[in-house]
């Protein structure tokens, strides 16, 4: 079993690549849920949703987020009756949030809902949240804690990043299948090219997961989300800079130093100081072929 840890957009690209080159039974994709939040009374899991849409071929490639063939009648009407419109929910996307919320309220786990929706949308590999317990990333800015989506979407990352916490993480239990897969001796753990601060580290903050990865005996391979000091997408580079570290592929690797055995980074980027075994591959994934190529490079790196 290959266990892939992923955040949203970037991670989902590699997860899709892996899903194309591995037999379905040999891939377990684990989604960050630190970005999850409750909005308009709905339980929204942005990284699970991004992975779901990407793996089902339903992602909106024009927007770069959300669902393909999306319409916006709900949002337009919500604005007209005075509702909050800063987090844009498409009409199709909304179906997932409403149905998930209904099922969670009826007592189902996030894992059960996620896996069932994935199955119904024809996703072959297993897709699970890191935990069925709520973990909520919050950003510290000038002494004030800001809920992650408020900072990320509503305020467009404008408040300076001075720190973060994963509220609830200390009490969260690792998703049981994930823990079992780590203990059963996986073929490898793949850390997808996601933001370390807000996509991968919430997963590693779930008690027992970081230790179980370190102890699993398999290669732990990360793919850099940084090319030439720039993040492909999102606030990764800014978060490094505002926390006093120059953004680089090596700076990402350093955050995983205790568990990392292998690292895939862009040809030409500086590997100085990286303790893991470094492989080089183009990490920008524009096409499906790019995603498959990078997935193959990851598998080749671990042999």
Interacting residues with a copy of itself (CB under 8 A)? 40-42, 67, 69-71, 73-78, 80-83, 90-92, 94-96, 98-99, 101-102, 105, 116-117, 120-121
Residue 24 beta carbon to a copy of itself: minimum distance, rounded to whole angstroms: 19
Task: Using alpha carbons, list the distances in angstroms from residue 221 to 69, 71, 180, 248.
Answer: 35, 38, 19, 17
Output 58 or 216, the one with its CB closest to a copy of itself. 58
> Cβ atoms within 10 A of the Cβ of 56, count?
18
CB of 109 to a copy of itself, least distance (A): 16
| Least CB distance to a copy of itself at residue 48 (A) | 13
Q: Report the C-alpha gap between 115 and 106 in whole angstroms.
A: 16
DSSP 65-100: SSBTT---HHHHHHHHTT---SS---HHHHHHHHHH
Asked whether the beta carbons of 129 and 66 are under 8 A apart, the reply is no
Tell me whether residue 75 or residue 249 sits nearer to a copy of itself (CB atom).
75
Q: Is the Cβ of residue 71 or residue 230 nearer to a copy of itself in the bound state?
A: 71
Q: Which is nearer to a copy of itself, 112 or 278 (CB)?
A: 112
Q: Which is nearer to a copy of itself, 67 or 255 (CB)?
A: 67
d(CA 2, CA 28): 6
Rounded to a whole number of angstroms, the minimum distance from the CB of residue 47 to a copy of itself is 18
Structure token digits, residue 73:
């009648």
Rounded (5°) CA angle 234-237-241 = 140
Return the number of the residue (122 or 267) whose C-beta is nearest a copy of itself.
Answer: 122
The answer to whether 34 and 43 have CB atoms below 8 angstroms apart is: no
Report the nearest approach of a copy of itself to the CB of residue 124 (Å). Answer: 17
CB of residue 149 vs a copy of itself: minimum separation in angstroms?
16
């Amino acid at each position: 079993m290959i266990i892939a840890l992923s955040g949203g957009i970037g991670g989902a690209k590699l997860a899709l690549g892996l899903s194309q080159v591995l037999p379905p039974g040999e891939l377990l994709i684990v989604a960050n849920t630190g970005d999850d939040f409750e909005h308009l009374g709905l339980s929204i899991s942005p990284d699970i949703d991004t992975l779901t849409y990407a793996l089902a071929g339903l992602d909106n490639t024009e927007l770069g987020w959300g669902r393909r063939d999306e319409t916006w009648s709900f949002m337009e009407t919500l604005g007209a009756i005075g509702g909050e419109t800063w987090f844009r929910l498409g009409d199709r996307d909304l179906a997932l949030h409403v149905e998930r919320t209904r099922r969670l309220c009826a007592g189902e786990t996030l894992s059960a809902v996620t896996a069932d929706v994935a199955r119904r949308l024809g996703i072959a590999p297993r897709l699970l949240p890191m935990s069925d317990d709520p973990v909520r990333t919050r950003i510290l800015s000038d002494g004030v804690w800001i809920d992650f989506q408020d900072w990320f979407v509503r305020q467009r990352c404008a408040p300076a990043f001075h720190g973060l916490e994963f509220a609830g993480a200390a009490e969260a239990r690792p998703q049981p299948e994930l823990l079992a897969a780590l203990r059963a001796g996986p073929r490898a753990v793949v850390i997808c090219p996601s933001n370390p601060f807000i996509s991968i580290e919430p997963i590693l903050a779930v008690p027992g997961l970081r230790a179980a990865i370190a102890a699993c005996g398999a290669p732990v391979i990360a793919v850099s989300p940084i090319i030439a000091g720039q993040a492909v997408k999102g606030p990764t580079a800014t978060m490094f800079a505002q926390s006093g570290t120059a953004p680089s592929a090596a700076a990402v690797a350093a955050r995983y130093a205790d568990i990392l055995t292998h690292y895939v980074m862009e040809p030409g980027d500086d590997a100085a100081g990286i303790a893991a075994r470094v492989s080089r591959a183009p990490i920008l994934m524009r096409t499906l072929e790019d995603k498959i190529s990078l997935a193959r490079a990851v598998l080749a790196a671990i042999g």
